[in-house]
Amino acid sequence: MCQAVDKPGFTLWFTGLSGAGKSTISGIVAESLRSRGHRVEILDGDEVRENLSKGLGFSKEDRDTNIKRIGYVAKLLARNGVIAITAAISPYRETRDLVRSQHQRFVEIFVHCPLEVCIQRDVKGLYRKALAGQIPQFTGVSDPYEEPLNPEVVVNTHLESPAESAAKILNWLTQHHYI
């Protein structure tokens, strides 16, 4: 096992549509960082909803509350030398910007994938249900997704493999002296 690297923590904030590849790529990045001796925690949107935000719905207010909770936990982890990786849709720019303002070291990663491709992938079958009207307030279909204006990293998962996207992120972190 690698010795823990003594560096300040930071937050990697993965944002993008459902099915864009946030969880897949964040997992690859986390594993690579761990193999280099970094302490890493992933705050996956689905897991946080189940364990920290149970009972919240999908109204704008509830989504904002969920993202603020994720941001708060990520801030605590980063403050204690952990690389906090979040993988949550986080559809509203204003809420993402608020979370960013509360962090000392924050890297926004836009996991870009056109809606049509996400619909084709439909890994969880959610788009099919949303398009059939069975899921109200579904991001990208009946609820908005506001793309980041100035993310530190953009990965294009419809053009890159998950490994290529992860490498792009790790290269950025290296070039900007995060790792």
Burial class of residue 61 (count of CB atoms within 10 Å of its CB; 0-12, 13-18, 19+): exposed
Helix, strand, coil in percent for the chain, rounding step 5 = 45, 15, 40
Catalogue the active-site residues: 90
CA distance 58 to 152: 27
- Tokens for 108, please give them: 């926004």
* Residues 152 and 158 sit within 8 Å (Cβ to Cβ): no
